Amino acid sequence: MATWNMFSFQDAVSPIMEQLILFHDHTMMVLTMITIMVLYMISSLMLNKFSNRFLLEGQMIELIWTLLPAVLLIVIALPSLKILYLLEEINKPLLTLKAIGHQWYWSYEYSDLKKIEFDSYMKQTDSIQNNEYRLIEVDNKIVLPWSTQTRMLVTSYDVIHSWTIPALGMKIDASPGRINQGSILVMRPGIYYGQCSEICGANHSFMPITLESVNMKSFNNWIHKIS
């Protein structure tokens, strides 16, 4: 989860988030090289009084500074398109989880498991435990088995919400009258937090998301307990 003074991404717990972090580093490297080159050229022009008489109407230099940005855009665009296709890739999901946004809480349905449904509200400050976090703990967590492909369906009951867990690289808009789809593959057990990322009203910041990733045996025990 995010903590104070964290300037980088959260640790990736899904293949998609790993790809997003790698793409961010790749793009930042290209942008850093461009920035350094431009600053060097500007400083060179400002610190000397010489002029290149062959640079005034050089067709070759114009061709270079036209083709070079195009090549750099291709270098950035190709990995970006790869990630966009990976975000939509779902390969034989074992589970289907549906999230429905409300003002201001989430409700969940495990459609494949005897229609298990529950609402998830933010815990009040006076009811949280010593090992829990204020404003992001919920009374009913999502429980999913790790290393298992899960189809995520997201919709809304009233206004536009956004179901987001940064550590998973998941951000799916919840639009009323429409079902958006995503894929979850958690690579390790743990508890991961998120929040609604679409300004949806007065209590927008008080509808957190908590997902607990467990092994398959613990997940089966949870299913029998809740049903």
**Average pLDDT of 86-111?**
88
Q: Is the bond preceding 104 in cis, omega lying within 30 degrees of 0?
A: yes
- Average per-residue pLDDT for the chain: 88
105-125: b or e for each residue (b if 16 or more CB lie within 10 Å)?
bbbbbbeeeeeeeeebbbbee
Question: Which CATH architecture fits 15-88?
Answer: Orthogonal Bundle (1.10)
Give the C-alpha separation, 210 to 225, whole Å: 19
The C-alpha angle with vertex 118 and arms to 108 and 114, in degrees rounded to 5, equals 80
Q: What is the pLDDT of residue 90?
A: 79
Q: Tell me the pLDDT tens digit for each residue of 73-84.
A: 998 999 899 888
Nearest to 184 by CA among 105, 122, 97: 97
Separation between Cα atoms, residue 75 and residue 45, nearest integer Å: 29
Per-residue confidence band for 154, with pLDDT thresholds at 50, 70 and 90: very high
pLDDT tens across 157-177, in order? 989 999 999 999 889 999 999
pLDDT tens-digit series, residues 26-82: 999 999 999 999 999 889 888 887 777 666 677 787 888 889 889 999 989 998 998
pLDDT > 90? residue 1: no
Residue (of 164, 165, 163, 145) closest to 212 by Cα position: 145
Which pLDDT value is given to residue 55?
65
- What's the token pair of residue 155? 């919709």
Q: What distance separates the 2 farthest-apart alpha carbons in the chain?
A: 82
Answer CATH for 95-226 from 1.10.730.10, 2.60.40.420, 3.40.50.300, 3.40.50.620: 2.60.40.420
* Three-class DSSP labels, 53-95: CCCCCCHHHHHHHHHHHHHHHHHHHHHHHHHHHHHCCCCCCCE
Residue 143 pLDDT: 93
Of the candidates 149, 129, 146, the one whose C-alpha atom is nearest the C-alpha of residue 137 is 129
pLDDT at 21: 92
pLDDT at site 129: 82
Binning pLDDT at 50, 70 and 90, where does residue 186 land?
very high
Ranges of each domain in the chain: 15-88, 95-226
